Amino acid sequence: MSSVEQFGYRQELQRSLGFADLMIYGLIFMVPIAPFGIFGNVFAVSHGMVALAYVIGLVAMAFTALSYAQMARAFPMAGSVYTYAGRGIAAPVGFIAGWAILLDYVLVPSLLYLVASAAMNSFVPVIPIWGWLVIFVLLNTVVNYLGIQMTARITRIMLVAELAVLAIFLVVGGVALAQGKAQTGALTPLFESSSFTWSVVLAAASVAVLSFLGFDGISTLAEENREDARRLGRSMVAALGVAAVLFVVQTWVAALLTPNRAKLIAEGDAAGSAFYDTAAFAGGQWLSVLTAVATAIAWGFANSLVAQAATSRLLFAMGRDRQLPRFLAVVDPKHKVPVNATLAVAAISLILGVYMSTRENGIGELASLVNFGAMSAFLLLHIAVVVHYLIRQRSRNYWAHLVAPVIGFAVLVAVVINQNVAAQWVGGIWLALGLVVLGGSYLMGRKPALPTEVK
């Protein structure tokens, strides 16, 4: 009997992914060059302490990754935090966790498509932003429909390309620093005494953490993992660790070379071009163009590709449990992918992306909401670890099942409190709506329930 059948499900998805596939998937989801696109915003909010913001973001996500690893080991199924909270605490809590993470998973493809389309429109203005959106959505949907193995092959190629661009930037940046182009002291990106306050750094971390979101997407592929469940958790931790090193190094180098520092801190980076301006200062216009195009392709194709795959697996899991419409659980018999969920994500991404492209600060609004949804769901994940292992299983592993989750919970609370106020309001309304939907299910006699575990 397979591990999925043990929990009352049928094995429908194809088990074809190994440790390397999963880790690469997580790295692509996080995007090794993710800081390129939001560097200016993090720089402005952190008062130049960009590297510190990413270090704190890493701390928050590291404890969350440890909790994910524990729950993936206990419940090796698709559905991510929805499955873990539902199985670890109770089905209604799982619904709320799934509802919260939907704010992240459903919106993040739209955010990625919008960022990439805006970037491509700046280079090829003859094609409007909505036109680029259509191109990116259609391309990723076709690749995902062809199966998870096709997605895995494409992600390997894209990862190599992103790392090559990052290496070029770091080499050119290193040469620029050796030539004396540094605009500030070597340790300023990590700590600046005149600007440091916890509120400033935590607010910056709440933005920087967007770059880390994606390692958790690995958990949605649990039913396509061909190895031991422990390897799934280890791939999450490994992907997070590699990405963190890359994020800190590239932002440190960029922060040292950023021109017009005071102006950027005072006025922000509404155009999202601060990193590309820094690249031009370090190596010339060719480097600016290279990093900008790489960002567009990484966000619009590579990252969106795996984001769509992860979101479709979450919708598949909730549809299978009848907590969302059942048609989302339909699996293509040939390619072994949740075809209706994949198409649903594509449609939502296209409609929402086109709409948000008409708003003045559509990218910023989407980014804030994505972060709020993820952080809220992660809080329930930490609680699920304590309830399942410490209370139900009587575990004596106090570090993994009590101390680490409590620390992770506390750090996330601090980050959420310092988030954008508008995001807190809209996110709060979304969670309240989820409670209304849950209450309606009870009134209609459709109490959330999960298949009984087979002993």
pLDDT in tens, 379-410: 999 999 999 999 999 999 999 899 999 999 99
User: Quick one: pLDDT at residue 386?
Assistant: 95
In DSSP terms, 17 is beta-bridged to 225
Identify the burial level of 455 via C-beta atoms within 10 angstroms of its C-beta, where 0-12 means exposed, 13-18 middle and 19 or more buried: exposed
More confident call, 310 vs 288: 288
pLDDT-derived band of residue 1, with 50, 70 and 90 as boundaries? Answer: very low
Positive/negative CA dihedral, 355, 357, 361, 366: positive
Q: In angstroms, what CA-CA distances link 178 with 169, 171, 256, 392?
A: 14, 11, 12, 58
Query: Cβ distance 330 to 338 under 8 Å?
Result: yes
**Lowest model confidence (mean pLDDT) among 25-29, 137-141, 229-233:** 229-233
CA distance 198 to 319: 42
**Lowest model confidence (mean pLDDT) among 221-235, 239-253, 312-326, 346-360:** 221-235
User: Quick one: pLDDT at residue 6?
Assistant: 57
pTM above 0.75, yes or no: yes
CA distance 371 to 373: 6
Domains of the chain: residue spans and CATH: 5-444 (1.20.1740.10)
Phi and psi torsions of 231, nearest 5° = -65, -30
pLDDT-derived band of residue 142, with 50, 70 and 90 as boundaries? Answer: confident
User: Quick one: pLDDT at residue 229?
Assistant: 67
Q: In angstroms, what CA-CA distances link 228 with 62, 73, 76, 317, 324?
A: 21, 9, 9, 20, 29
Average pLDDT of every residue of the chain: 82
Query: Cβ distance 109 to 349 under 8 Å?
Result: yes
User: Quick one: pLDDT at residue 455?
Assistant: 42
Mean pLDDT of all residues in 15-30: 77
In DSSP terms, 225 is beta-bridged to 17
Token pair listed for 436: 């209304």
Positive/negative CA dihedral, 327, 333, 337, 340: negative
Identify the burial level of 112 via C-beta atoms within 10 angstroms of its C-beta, where 0-12 means exposed, 13-18 middle and 19 or more buried: buried
pLDDT-derived band of residue 325, with 50, 70 and 90 as boundaries? Answer: confident
User: Quick one: pLDDT at residue 313?
Assistant: 78
Query: Cβ distance 27 to 243 under 8 Å?
Result: yes
**Lowest model confidence (mean pLDDT) among 18-27, 75-84, 230-239, 404-413:** 75-84
Task: Assess whether pLDDT exceeds 50 at residue 134.
Answer: yes
Task: Assess whether pLDDT exceeds 70 at residue 79.
Answer: no
Mean pLDDT of all residues in 69-83: 78
User: Quick one: pLDDT at residue 337?
Assistant: 79
User: Quick one: pLDDT at residue 429?
Assistant: 87
**Any idea how long the chain is?**
455
Phi and psi torsions of 17, nearest 5° = -105, 135
Task: Assess whether pLDDT exceeds 70 at residue 72.
Answer: yes
Mean pLDDT of all residues in 372-380: 86
Write the DSSP string, 254-311. HHHH-SSHHHHHHH--TTS-HHHHHHHHHH-HHHHHHHHHHHHHIIIIIIHHHHHHHH
Token pair listed for 423: 């995001």
More confident call, 29 vs 100: 100
